[in-house]
Amino acid sequence: MFKEGIKYRKCDNGDFIKLHEINQERFINKTSLTTFKVGERLHRNTIFLAEDNNNAVGYVFGMGSQDNPEEGWIRQIAVLKKYEGRGIAKTLQKLCIEAFKSMRGVRYVGLSVEPGNKPALCLYKSLGFKIVEPEQVYETIAVNGKLAIKDYYGPGEHRFIMKKEL
Ligand X SMILES: CC(C)(COP(=O)(O)OP(=O)(O)OC[C@H]1O[C@@H](n2cnc3c(N)ncnc32)[C@H](O)[C@@H]1OP(=O)(O)O)[C@@H](O)C(=O)NCCC(=O)NCCS
* Positions in the binding site for ligand X (CB under 6 A): 26, 76-79, 84-90, 117-120, 122-123, 126
β-pair partners for 51? 7, 56
Among residues 20 and 86, whose Cβ is nearest to ligand X? 86
Q: How far is the CB of 147 from ligand X (least distance, A)?
A: 19
Is residue 48 within 8 A of residue 11, CB to CB? The reply is: yes
Q: How far is the CB of 99 from ligand X (least distance, A)?
A: 17
Q: How far is the CB of 87 from ligand X (least distance, A)?
A: 4
d(CA 154, CA 151): 5
d(CA 164, CA 159): 16
**DSSP 8-class letter at 115:** T
Kindly state the helix (H) or strand (E) to which residue 76 belongs, with its residue range.
Answer: strand 71-79
* Sign, CA torsion 87/93/97/99: positive
Among residues 34 and 117, whose Cβ is nearest to ligand X? 117
Per DSSP, helices labelled H in 27-159 are 33-42, 88-101, 118-126
Q: How far is the CB of 104 from ligand X (least distance, A)?
A: 26
